[in-house]
Structure 1
């Protein structure tokens, strides 16, 4: 193992972020929003928790909102199962996210719940796109419902997403302290006006696993973003590996707050989900299966009972 030292990161986040602003395919916009969530308003839709797939439609702050829940075979409310919030790219919806990620099959095998929120107008109000909706509050309400009446384990709640949904995972980690034990943004970034502030970091430990493609036109911004995240949280490198297949670079670091950051840089991948299950954003030749690696990472991380909002 290499000697431990303070990590140095480059290029500057603000400069790299500027490269992404015109690129709407990544969920980009010139309309950044730093809006914080207001008081939680729980969904009022009546749905009976049961195994399988359910679509939940509700009115949230005057807007019709939708999310889908997948529960594994044999699910009952008697057990506390982990929960993964999985967020789609822009423009898409939760059904597309399920297809890209293959998380339903993984949930059936590993026994966890998956929730797929639909962004309003097919996108989330993440760090640099899209819209002005209180999606942080909406997703907070979903997690409260699923850890409440659905009895998911509040100590094992995780978030993932691709592109705009990956950006949203970073936003949730910062703006919902004490909610997520770990996140896994795929082809997404810690970017935008809000993320340029050094104070814009999680108040409770949130571990991060991320995948970024060397052929992604947004690579520079995403790379700068995860470097800034580590710098601000005083993360020190633990391990660096060069994987033989596709010369993938894997780095791991431990941060001052006890969280972990693992980054897969895939030189031959574009704006995609590594070895996804289907859809245009799945790259079957990426050399690593993001869904499998992600779940192993999530299993390692549990929210401590003391990690709650102050």
Structure 2
């Protein structure tokens, strides 16, 4: 008579080990989810706030599927079918030639039930083609109109995060689903009938979270991307969870642009106060911003523009941090050693923190320089902001490092302190920047980014 083989008893340790291995195999990627039970129709948005689009609204088999400015056309209205298809203009989103290799392009094709037309949504915004095991992808994160979409290995880049039609589901109260994923890229902002590309840096975020924004304004003859590099704000944003937007001015100058600072730059150009308000409005929706925590900083001419925003956009901006450019309005035409009192009239007390080198030869700490754009001294600018804010104490002066003093006006309306960091050996530079711009010494005794962010955190908009 045959006998059953003997079984070794399964110990508790062995059982725990087996369960751990099984769990690891089940949690490699977020689980795919089926599309809504009732099909949903609408745009699919991705990197740069752009939409998945059918080229020229074509309906022929093989028509390219691309990234393009969202425009509400039928070529951007996608239906998520309960059968796993993604359809527009009566046809299906299709992987060309049933391809499975990285870089295989997407096209429009007659719906035929093949694996090349099957898609599953994952909980973190990735859209998978199960037949290939690869994901909807914008090559290299390009946001240019006409960028041909493809499939590619799953990764954590922003250009694989897509926002799908939700079929009418309602998000939890106070939460937000951003159209802009994490990463750094250009996104369009339309103002005055024209569309401008604005460089943004978006950190990783918790689902539904609204993030603060810091506008980072470039100096004269530079650009937004150049300023984001020079200020090195992106690592601070990643560490502290805020969005950085680095737009570009409108007036051509040298190898870049300058800002249209009100009553300083010649008229007849873009209204940059209005434009920057539009940047805030656009990103508040697209990047899910916390409207109580909108801040501005800027360097040199960007510092002057930041100061102008404090004068004219205090209803939207919670606090400002000019670097090498603190102003409180234009110089008084009757006496250039003081600000024009009629040129800076904020609607509320505005917290201000500023940084300036005493060896600055471009925007001199003690005044002088350009009679229309500069002229009065930095301490006079600080004093004027203290007067505007109704401060009754200060300036209290503290030596915070060998070459750095901090002066503070306090006991201000609404807690709107006015703080100035003076760098005795500093040039026309950004404290803590890793880059030498050839305009004098860059101090590393303080880091402007971490200091200003600490100040911003203490001053949300009431």
TM-score band by shorter chain is 0.7 to 0.9
CA separation in 2, counterparts of 1:231 and 1:112? 30
Aligned to 2:348: 204
Closer/same/farther in 2, CA of residues 75 and 257 from structure 1, 3 Å limit: closer
Conservation of the 8 A alpha-carbon contact between 1:159 and 1:180: yes
1:123 to 2:258 alignment: yes
TM-score by length of 1: 0.76
Aligned to 1:144: 281
5+ long unaligned stretches in structure 1: 1-42, 305-310
Question: Which of 183, 192, 200 is 1:52 aligned to?
Answer: 183
Shift of 1:73: 2.5
Aligned to 1:273: 430
Deviations 1:62-104 (A, max 9, x none): 445221111012465x101111011000010011111111111
CA separation in 2, counterparts of 1:135 and 1:282? 29
5+ long unaligned stretches in structure 2: 1-48, 51-68, 71-142, 144-178, 333-338, 367-376
CA separation in 2, counterparts of 1:279 and 1:245? 20
Instruction: Give the RMSD, CA atoms, in angstroms.
Output: 2.4
Aligned to 1:61: 192
Aligned to 1:160: 297
Closer/same/farther in 2, CA of residues 201 and 297 from structure 1, 3 Å limit: same
Conservation of the 8 A alpha-carbon contact between 2:201 and 2:245: yes
Shift of 1:257: 4.5
Conservation of the 8 A alpha-carbon contact between 1:239 and 1:252: yes
Conservation of the 8 A alpha-carbon contact between 2:189 and 2:278: no
- Give the secondary-structure state (helix, strand or coil) at the position aligned to 2:275: helix
Larger Rg: 2
Conservation of the 8 A alpha-carbon contact between 1:268 and 1:286: no
1:97 to 2:227 alignment: yes
Conservation of the 8 A alpha-carbon contact between 2:292 and 2:460: yes
Question: Which of 82, 86, 98 is 2:212 aligned to?
Answer: 82
The number of residue pairs the alignment matches comes to: 260
Conservation of the 8 A alpha-carbon contact between 1:181 and 1:205: no
Aligned to 1:17: none
TM-score by length of 2: 0.52
Deviates most, 262-271 or 53-62: 53-62
Shift of 1:161: 0.2
CA separation in 1, counterparts of 2:227 and 2:436? 9
Aligned to 1:308: none
Shift of 1:224: 2.1
Question: Which of 214, 219, 236 is 2:365 aligned to?
Answer: 219
Closer/same/farther in 2, CA of residues 80 and 226 from structure 1, 3 Å limit: same
Deviations 1:218-247 (A, max 9, x none): 21233322222223333221632023422x
Shift of 1:150: 1.8
Aligned to 1:234: 390
Conservation of the 8 A alpha-carbon contact between 1:167 and 1:189: yes
Aligned to 1:292: 450
1:135 to 2:281 alignment: no
